[in-house]
Amino acid sequence: MSILVIAEHDNLTLKVATRNAIAAAAKINITLATEIHVLVAGVACGDAAQQAAAVAGVAKVIVADAAHYGDQTAENLAALIVAQAGGHTHILAAATSNGKNTLPRVAALLDVAQISDIIAVLDADTFVRPIYAGNALATVKSADPVKVITVRTTGFDAVEASGGHAVIENIQASTDLGQAKLVNRELTKSARPELAAAKIIVSGGRGMGSGENYHTVLEPLADKLGAAMGASRAAVDAGFVSNDYQVGQTGKIVAPQLYIAIGISGAIQHLAGMKDSKVIVAINKDPDAPIFQVADYGLVADLFQAVPELVAAL
């Protein structure tokens, strides 16, 4: 028996989130002392498979290379994972939009529960997961023969990208179900670090007033700090930035070294996405804004004055 981790990748590169999920697998493996396998399903995904084979602690990389895995559609991926499920006690993926899309489907096909967004492993059957926007932590125990789990990446430090020497095994693709077709994909191109993996995040809310302000005021600060940029739901809904910037209960969960919330009030749904950051700074003109209750350093000021001042002084 072994533990299977589903790789998050774009065929060329293995995403860091995969190594966070492998870290959770390694925790589970402390009591099981078995092997960790990684499934790389994609098209022309040899590079991603090589990178997976180099990750510390991985014993085997299983590769399914076929056109119909290229777009990572849930129907085909889930069918493939279910075909590979035998021999595995646990199936894990990072709680990314792909992981969240696919693993519940896998669990239902296996007739087992899925455990979402775990942040800690207590033993091979027992896990901790946040509920109610992170305002409570549930410790849950699974009695299912196979545990299907998504891993909150901020809960587990990524294992090393190198040091492993896994064997690579190519497997037969499942047949294309042909139920879903990718028509178009618009990914935000940015030279900045990825939000989910950034050390510093500069985040703007409704207080920015406009998309133009968001960019002209916050970008210089992000540039100075080498930071990723995030936003509240209100800023995204108002069209200041695109949806992939949203931090929160229903957006991205982040835990950088430094999170700077600017013109963000601190609604519970926003806090759910960033309150595990190491250091939180809030800049808000309202001294009673709830964001100050979680901020390590609060500055009551007009952001249009304070942020340029900050940029100049850094």
Ligand X SMILES: Cc1cc2nc3c(=O)[nH]c(=O)nc-3n(C[C@H](O)[C@H](O)[C@H](O)COP(=O)(O)OP(=O)(O)OC[C@H]3O[C@@H](n4cnc5c(N)ncnc54)[C@H](O)[C@@H]3O)c2cc1C
- Enumerate binding residues for ligand X (CB under 6 A): 138, 205-207, 232-235, 246-251, 263-265, 267, 269-270, 273, 284-286, 289, 302-304
Contacting other proteins (CB under 8 A), which of 31, 97, 210, 216?
97
Give min distance, CB of 275 to other proteins, in A. 7
Give min distance, CB of 213 to ligand X, in A. 9
108 torsion bin: left (phi>0), alpha (psi -120 to 50), beta (else): alpha
What span, in angstroms and rounded, lies between the C-alpha atoms of 170 and 293? 52
Q: CA angle at residue 207 from 205 to 213, to 5 degrees?
A: 90
Q: Considering the rule CB under 8 A, would residue 157 count as an interface residue with other proteins?
A: no
Q: Could you give the 3-state DSSP secondary structure of residue 9?
A: strand
Region 256-285 residues binding other proteins, contact defined as CB under 8 A: 257-258, 268-269, 275, 278-281
159 torsion bin: left (phi>0), alpha (psi -120 to 50), beta (else): beta
Region 41-70 residues binding other proteins, contact defined as CB under 8 A: none
Which of other proteins, ligand X, none lies near 289, with the C-beta cut-off 5 to 8 A by kind?
ligand X
What span, in angstroms and rounded, lies between the C-alpha atoms of 292 and 207? 15
Over the window 195 to 214, marking each residue x when it contacts other proteins by CB under 8 A and - when it does not, the resulting string is -x---x--------------
Which of ligand X, other proteins, none lies near 134, with the C-beta cut-off 5 to 8 A by kind?
other proteins
Given a contact cutoff of 8 angstroms between Cβ atoms, the answer to whether 44 and 7 are in contact is no
Closest to other proteins by CB, 85 vs 140, is 140
CA 129 from centre of chain: 15
Which of ligand X, other proteins, none lies near 86, with the C-beta cut-off 5 to 8 A by kind?
none
- Rg, C-alpha atoms of the chain: 21
Closest to ligand X by CB, 9 vs 270, is 270
Residues paired with residue 40 on neighbouring β-strands, in sequence order: 63
Which of ligand X, other proteins, none lies near 270, with the C-beta cut-off 5 to 8 A by kind?
ligand X
Q: Is 136 exposed, middle or buried (0-12, 13-18, 19+ CB in 10 A)?
A: exposed
Over the window 136 to 155, marking each residue x when it contacts other proteins by CB under 8 A and - when it does not, the resulting string is xxxxxxxxx-----------
